[in-house]
A and B are shown apart, each in its own frame.
Chain A
Amino acid sequence: MNEAEFARVALPHLDAAYTLARWLLRDPVAAEDVVQDAMLRALTYFAGFRGTNARAWLLQIVRNTAYARMAQRRGVQEEPLDPDGKHEHLADPGGDPEAALQGAEVVSALHRALAALPAELRECVVLRELEEMSYRDIARVTGVPAGTVMSRLFRARQMLLRIGRDAGAKERTA
């Protein structure tokens, strides 16, 4: 197990790893914890790494570690899969639990909308729009076929568009 080699391959992707964990867990402390955990696991798997696309390889481990953590803590209110209920909550900028995502920073409506998507949809948007990964790499990270990535991305974007339209309509009538 070559730790220096692992550091050379994995550490350049630490920001990407943290970004994904942060968006999945929606909690900076848990995200840091999960990334540490994932790096530890990645180190143990490193012998089996075939040397292609370290970022997708590492993010896959981060993603699985984050999902295991979310399953452990159902209390974090993961996967309610109730988009309508969530949209109502989103349309109200007051009492914003997602503000914690960015500390004291002002969080945009779009940011909150993304944070409220189901995890399977949210991760596709994060990997595509923030990490600019290809469908193929997103498929690798999320463990589903590329066709599923495409349909999840499309559903996610439809939901974000609809939230934007709903918010706009609310503003106009207010």
Chain B
Amino acid sequence: MTDATASFPPAGVPPACEEMQLLIQADLDGELDAAATAVLAAHLRDCAGCAALQRELANLSGRLHAELRPEAAPASLRRALEARLAPAAAAPPAPGGFRRRLAPLLSFGAGAAIAASLALMLPRTGADPDGELVAGHIRALQPGHLTDVASSDQHTVKPWFDGRIDYAPPVMDFVAQGFPLVGGRLDYIGGRPVAALVYRRDKHPIDLFVWPSQGSAEPVMDTRNGYNVLRWARDGMAFRAVSDLNAKELADFARLWQGAS
């Protein structure tokens, strides 16, 4: 992304002021701690440029608050969802266009077919979620893309996902067994962020995608575009290992996971 934004103040911002800009903003956003607030206050006393920026940003926030309001969801949308989610789910179907939109929801019914929810766990992947995972793996093989957090320490990788996705993937290191943890990254599969743990077997990277789902514990091997894809499930999580590693060693990797506690 090219940054065509003019910096402020326009001409020659001194390095000290550049550092102050994010502090000024954080202060206005209520995100600054006491120590940083003191540093900022001292700078603002001596720097007319930063003081002007502070006034401008404060003014902008005030105008945004005054002129823009959160929007109320349309009543039709709220009614349709309320009717759908009410305990008496036998509520009359939503009128008009909502019938079509809500059809998948209504099919969930009280018994909530697990198969249906499984299909929805990886939405928008079309008929070939494995293909999309392999595409994610191939994308990640570009230099510098394999990991967002590079660490062989599971206690570093696991908390990295906290706040980035709405579930906590299990993270294990199998360095002693020849599958060292390399790091983790966030991948987007079907528009949804999914945890990818990255391992290595000799020179072969292994992506292990993990997301909450039920499924068969028994590993199932598949291939896509020359990559092996091994899937299994345990403890409410679905696992997909994707690698150019041979099928036998990838199965060894899966067994380590299944034997781990």
Contacts and interface: CB of A to CB of B under 8 A. Distances in A.
Nearest to B87: A4
B71 A19 contact: yes
A50 B167 contact: yes
A8 to B, nearest CB: 9
A171 interface: no
B246 interface: no
Contacts, number: 162
Interface residues of B, number: 65
B73 A17 contact: yes
Nearest to A162: B6
A83 B4 contact: yes
A40 B105 contact: yes
A114 B193 CA distance: 26
Interface string A82-124: 1110000000000000000000000010110010001000000
Interface stretch (B120-128, B200-208, B221-229, B253-261): B120-128
B80 A83 contact: no
Interface string A1-40: 1011011000100111111001000001000110111011
A62 to B, nearest CB: 11
Interface residues of A, number: 69
Given A41-B120, A47-B212, A108-B67, A162 B5 contact: yes
Contact of B108 (A1, A22, A130, A154): A1
B150 interface: no
B73 A15 contact: yes
A153 to B, nearest CB: 6
Interface of B: 1-8, 21-22, 25-26, 29, 31, 56-57, 60-61, 63-65, 67-74, 76-78, 80-82, 84-87, 89, 98, 101-102, 104-105, 108, 112, 117, 120-121, 123-124, 163-164, 166-168, 186, 188, 190-193, 212, 236
Interface of A: 1, 3-4, 6-7, 11, 14-19, 22, 28, 32-33, 35-37, 39-41, 43-45, 47-50, 57, 60-61, 64-65, 67-68, 71, 81-84, 108, 110-111, 114, 118, 125, 128-131, 134-136, 139-140, 143, 150-151, 153-155, 157-162, 164
